[in-house]
Copies of this chain bind each other. A is one copy, B any other.
Amino acid sequence: MSEQRDALKETSSNRALSRDVALAAGVSQSTVSRALRDDPRISSTTRERVRQAAEQLGYVPNRVARNLRERRSRVVGVMVQDIDNAFYTQLLADMHQELLVAGYAFTLIVDPLHLRSDVTRLRNLLDASFDGLIITTATLDSDAPEALHRRGIPIVLSVRSIPGLEVDIVESDNVAAGQLAARHLVSLGHRDIAAIMGPEVTSTTQHRIVGANQVLGHSLPPERVFNGPYSHESGHSHCRRLLQGDRPPTAIMAANDVIAIGVIDAARQMGYSVPDDISVIGFDDIHMASWHSFRLTTVRQDTKAIAVQSARRLIERIEDPDGPVTHDKYPVSLTMRATTAAPK
């Protein structure tokens, strides 16, 4: 048993190193490094010999050492508010894919606090040796993005933006999104519309409200606008309260599909029929929106394009820190399904 212990101990520390390969192949350590990285200066015979030796010993280069030497980690951080949220989850899946093919790994940073100056947190971001950061949790009062930017850490603001910051931004045209939703509801004949939005300090929320107001010709009355997290629960409870009130609205605009589904659930639970008694429109068009139980009418944003482009922009920024700052704004479109209709 103690023998096995020792064996194990040895095993865990006897990962073959480049110098072991060098010894086995009868060349120098630097030649091993070059051969394995396909340096043209190494003859093909030597290269082959080194390859074999490496294979034999199961040699895999130590990435930490390489990172130190190359002064980069090929790891990027992706900040999201909440992993357990279908929108972020779709976004992450596509970002992951894009980063992967570019040779980057990513580590998830969950940031429920919207990047408000939490010194410890900021320190962690700085010392975490990311090559860059995709931030999807920016709020208008986030201070971390600027601090990180000043430190020279490549960042891209994805999904949500902060005005006046000279960093790459990838987002949807949220003003147009607000317009689209409002125009759809108005054209169906709705006049009393409520909005269950995300946190007020969020660019998406503000832009969409602006867009909606433009179409309505007036500002949504404050008692018809609700702010809260992007959760099923938020949609559910706000809708419940609305329907219990004196004069419920005839339509509800939700900040995203997850909220919208919460709204639908609450309405149904209270015996209301969607869309006969009340119309509901969402944003995003996540997979779930098309499920038969919901068939949610929603303003589609090109989540995949945003995910992919965010990853690309970050990589570009990492590889060329001084390139021009970009701002991608993707068009949105209306996906009509079965949760909106003319009011009774």
A residues bordering B, Cβ < 8 Å?
A: 5, 8-9, 11-13, 15, 58, 60-65, 67-68, 73, 75, 82-86, 89-90, 92-93, 96-97, 100, 105-108, 110, 123, 126-129, 150-152, 232, 261, 264-266, 268-269, 287, 291-294, 321-322
- Work out how many copies of this chain go into the complex: 2
Q: Do the beta carbons of A321 and B89 come within 8 Å of each other?
A: no
- In the complex, 13 of the A-B residue pairs with CB atoms within 8 angstroms, ordered by the A residue number, are A8-B152, A9-B321, A12-B321, A15-B151, A62-B68, A62-B127, A82-B93, A83-B89, A83-B92, A96-B108, A97-B110, A232-B287, A293-B293
Q: How far is the CB of A314 from chain B (nearest CB, A)?
A: 15
Q: Taking CB as reference atom, which chain B residue is nearest A11? A: B152
Minimum CB distance partner of A89 in chain B:
B84
B261 touches A291 (CB 8 A): yes
**Whose C-beta in chain B lies nearest to the C-beta of A95?**
B83
A217 to B290, CA, bound (A): 40
Flag if A123 contacts B266 (CB, 8 Å).
Answer: no
A83 contacts B93, C-beta separation under 8 Å:
yes
Does A64 lie within 8 Å of B68, measured CB to CB? yes
Minimal Cβ-Cβ distance residue in B for A103: B124
**CB-based contact A128/B96 at 8 Å:** no
- Kindly name the residue among A11, A128, A264, A291 whose own CB sees the greatest number of chain B CB atoms within 10 A: A291
Please measure, in the bound complex, the distance between the C-alpha atom of A106 and the C-alpha atom of B265, giving whole angstroms: 34
Closest B residue to A100 by CB, please name it: B110
Q: Is the CB of A266 within 8 A of B292?
A: yes
Contact of A265 among B127, B129, B264, B292 (CB under 8 A): B292
User: Which residue of chain B lies nearest to A154 when distances are taken between CB atoms in the complex?
Assistant: B12
Does A60 contact B96, Cβ atoms closer than 8 Å? no
Which residues of the other chain, B, contact A151 by a CB distance below 8 angstroms? Answer: 11, 15, 58
Given contacts A15-B151, A93-B84, are A268 and B287 in contact (CB under 8 A)? no
Give A153's nearest chain B residue, CB to CB. B12
Q: Chain B residue with minimal CB distance to A293?
A: B293
Contacts of A265 in B (CB 8 A): 291-293
Cα separation A126 to B127 with both chains bound (whole Å): 24
A64: contacting residue among B8, B67, B123, B268, CB under 8 A:
B67
**B322–A5 CB distance below 8 A:** yes
Q: Roughly how many angstroms separate A332 CA and B107 CA in the complex, as a whole number?
A: 31
B residues less than 8 Å from A106 (CB atoms) = 107-108
Q: A151-B11, A291-B232, A291-B261 are in contact. Are A105 and B107 (CB under 8 A)?
A: yes
Nearest B residue to A96, CB-CB: B110
Q: B293 and A294: CB pair below 8 A?
A: yes
Contacts of A85 in B (CB 8 A): 89
CB atoms of A12 and B152 under 8 A apart: yes
